[in-house]
Amino acid sequence: MKHQIYQVDAFTQETFGGNPACVVPLTSWLSDEQLLHIAKENAVAETAFFVPKDDHFHLRWFTPDIEIDLCGHATLAASHVIHTTLSQRGTPIRFETLSGTLTVAISGGVYYLDLPARPPVLSELPENIWEALSLKPKVVMKARDYILVYDDPSDIAAIQINRERFDQINLGYGGVCVTAQGSDCDFVSRFFTPQATILEDPVTGSSHCSLIPYWSEVLAKKKMTARQISERGGTLICEDQSDRVLIGGHAVTYLVGHFFL
């Protein structure tokens, strides 16, 4: 059977920037084993699969290794495919997911994801992660992900990971996000996942579910602009709405094709 597939660069206005995600529209669900095999074959950080149902979509996300509970950039990518190729111009687009109901509104070419806030709390860092970091944080917090706070954006850019030590721990759905107040934006970050095929995620929407509440309190601001300073890089428009966060970004289609099962 022939299936459509798209590759979209999320949180960028330029091809080869932001975070690439594959998007696979389906009319009914394939087996979990097939979904994981497709994600492995795609070899990007996440693949989004969706099935239309009445007035919404059932959405799932797979890395090359596991199914995950939330992925911001792949949700943005799926919204872009629905909006630009599947003749659904009305918004908000509504998704049912492992993280509940998610909605995406579109305004001025920007996709705004309405996601659950995950405020981090003070925590201790596991020894394996601490030893894997070339630079040590000044504050350690945790929600789903560890949020490690540093003094300066240059620290974030300079951090290196000892993968041998880093991969000795499994964080399940979670990862390690390093962050600092920005100089030309409100805050910057990078994101790493132990034991994952892809160590550093280029732009991570879901980590901003914790970064936005944290920096909103620190900076006393509700609306902020963030940069994820990976090699590809990406820009996120952020708003703290107490128990929810809004994360906005652009997207561009890189590839359209088919695969066969």
| Closest to 60 (Cα-Cα) out of 30, 86, 89 | 30
**Predicted model pTM:** 0.89
Q: 32 with 136, same domain? A: no
Q: What domain range includes position 234? A: 121-238
Q: 81 with 128, same domain? A: no
Mind listing the pLDDT tens digit for each residue in 2-35?
999 999 999 999 999 999 999 999 999 999 999 9
Q: 133 with 73, same domain? A: no
Mind listing the pLDDT tens digit for each residue in 27-85?
999 999 999 999 999 999 999 999 999 889 999 999 999 999 999 999 999 999 999 99
| 11 inside domain | yes
The DSSP secondary structure of 183-214, one letter per residue, reads SSSSEEEEEE-TT-SSSEES--TTTHHHHHHH
**Per-residue pLDDT band at 90 (split at 50, 70, 90):** low
Predicted local confidence at residue 197, as pLDDT: 87
Domain of residue 6, CATH code: 3.10.310.10
Query: How many residues are listed for the chain in this entry?
Result: 261
Predicted local confidence at residue 86, as pLDDT: 82
| 83 inside domain | yes
187 CB neighbour count, 10 Å cutoff: 26
Which amino acid belongs to residue 42? Answer: N
Q: Considering the chain, what percentage of its residues have pLDDT values greater than 90?
A: 93
Predicted local confidence at residue 47, as pLDDT: 98
Q: 153 with 253, same domain? A: no
Mind listing the pLDDT tens digit for each residue in 102-142?
999 999 999 999 999 999 999 999 999 999 999 999 999 99
Residue 247 has pLDDT above 80, yes or no: yes
Q: 93 with 125, same domain? A: no
| 243 inside domain | no
Kindly list the catalytic residues.
46
Q: Considering the chain, what percentage of its residues have pLDDT values greater than 70?
A: 98
What is the number of domains present in the chain?
2
Please give the helix or strand (H or E) that residue 238 lies within, else none.
strand 234-241
Find the mean pLDDT for residues 181-185.
96
Q: 210 with 252, same domain? A: no
Alpha-carbon gap, residue 33 to 169, rounded angstroms: 25
Alpha-carbon gap, residue 233 to 177, rounded angstroms: 15
Q: 256 with 198, same domain? A: no
Residue 88 has pLDDT above 80, yes or no: no
Q: 189 with 153, same domain? A: yes
| 14 inside domain | yes
| 129 inside domain | yes
Predicted local confidence at residue 125, as pLDDT: 96
Evaluate the omega torsion of the peptide bond into residue 92 and state whether it is cis, within 30 degrees of 0.
Answer: yes
| 195 inside domain | yes
Q: 130 with 202, same domain? A: yes
